[in-house]
Amino acid sequence: MQILNPIKISYKNLVAAKFRSFLTILGIIIGVASVIVIMAVGLSAQELILDQIRGIGSNLIGVLPGASEENGPPTTALGISITTLTYDDLQAMKDQRNIPEVEDAAGYVMGTSKIKYEEADFTFSFTGTTASYVNVENAEMEVGRFLNEEEEINLSRVAVLGSEVAKEIFGTENPLNKKIKIDDNNFAVIGVLKSRSSAAFGTSSQNDTVYIPLRTAQNLLLGINHLGFARLKVRDSDLIPIAIENTKITLRDQHDIDDPADDDFSVRDQAAAVETISNITDALRYFLLAIGTISLVVGGVGIMNVMLIAVNQRIREVGLRKAIGARNIDIALQFLVESATISFLGGAIGIIIGILLSFVISIVIQVLGYTWPFLISFWSVIVAALVSIVIGIIFGMYPARKASQVSPMEALRYE
């Protein structure tokens, strides 16, 4: 029963000063809700990206320009433009005399361009790629056909549209053989790809991309002669380790590299890509979480300030309780429990609001036509609840100590 007394007294004091209690709780509510939303959005984005990587296929190898740590982000992800991967490298990797385990290979360059049809203007991502894209990416055609090798060699001005691009530009009109302008260059539409699950909000997917021949994109739109990256399709996922080694040998031969330490390229399989993406997104989530906890600390400072004010306002009450036998620890415990209760209530409300906001974000993004799973980390909820209580205790210690040291005689004379 002695343990319950401080809780009962704290509850009465909180109810007696509703507005002050609400303002104190508000900081914790915002902090905890922010942490829950940040973790939920980060977890959903991570799962979506990883699902898309897995969906491409488990028997793919990615080749990127520039050397990088085995499980670290590729150099190109740091915003550095590297030109060490070329069209000739792609042809060498497609040659089964060099890499017998490889079934096919596709090269890629990417960009964003203004696209015009009749009087309407649009902006879409474009990908310059090779005829082998359909096989490597397991893509399917809705209507028409994909790019062929002859168009790739001849720098032909033909385009294949993602399903969303075709819908936005042409509506219900048949896009085949229609002319569109990409950066004021005429292109003939030869096909439309089948729809795939939409990418995450703010990212590009097959559905909202225009595909043109690789060398056309390099020469006509980008003015470059290197590749952004390449993907190799291995005949069997069990052959990936030896395929990776043969890819490295082939590229070292292409680039006249004798020492592996001098590699100017990176070769990754899907498992490595998944691990890399997981590491990057985890780091980003925890960085954002650290920022979110700042608001919790601010809320804790608010609790301390309000509790200090409460101590000054209730000095006579403290003196009276001491005069009738309350010990220093009883007074300290009362204020400490009051502080922890405020923080706990704020944490509980913040968790509920954070989960609701995360759900609303998921629904809104899905309404906009994107795939976005609603995921809540059980541990983020537990941690948020515990942290809110701990913050209440830590920031309540000083006011509790100050209250416990009040002299009964001075307190009873206090006006």
Reported as a single tens digit per residue, the pLDDT across 313-345 is 677 776 777 777 777 777 777 778 878 888 888
Report strand pairing: 229-234 vs 158-161: unpaired
**Is the distance from CB of 392 to CB of 343 less than 8 angstroms?**
yes
Number of domain units in the chain: 2
Query: Could you report the per-residue pLDDT of 2-13, keeping only the tens digit for each?
Result: 555 656 665 666
State whether 87 and 228 are in the same domain: yes
**Is the distance from CB of 363 to CB of 369 less than 8 angstroms?**
no
Q: Please name the residues in contact with 86: beta carbons below 8 A apart, sequence gap of 6 or more.
A: 225, 226, 227
Rounded to an integer, what distance in angstroms lies between the CA atom of residue 195 and that of residue 104?
23
Establish if 288 belongs to a structural domain: yes
Angle of CA points 113, 205, 281, to nearest 5°: 110
Print the domain residue range for 18. Answer: 4-52+277-413
Q: Name the band, by pLDDT with cuts 50, 70 and 90, for residue 57.
A: low
Taking residues 295-320, report their average pLDDT.
Answer: 75
Rounded to an integer, what distance in angstroms lies between the CA atom of residue 400 and that of residue 380?
29
State whether 137 and 208 are in the same domain: yes
Q: Quick check: 414 pLDDT over 60?
A: no
Where in 172-298 does DSSP place strands (E)? 179-182, 185-193, 209-213, 229-234, 265-269
Q: Which of 221, 238, 263 is the last residue of a domain?
A: 263
Establish if 74 belongs to a structural domain: no
Taking residues 299-305, report their average pLDDT.
Answer: 79
Q: Which of 214, 238, 263 is the last residue of a domain?
A: 263
Rounded to an integer, what distance in angstroms lies between the CA atom of residue 77 and that of residue 68?
10
State whether 323 and 354 are in the same domain: yes
Q: Quick check: 169 pLDDT over 90?
A: yes
State whether 259 and 134 are in the same domain: yes
Establish if 272 belongs to a structural domain: no
What is the pTM assigned to this prediction?
A: 0.61
Angle of CA points 67, 96, 148, to nearest 5°: 90
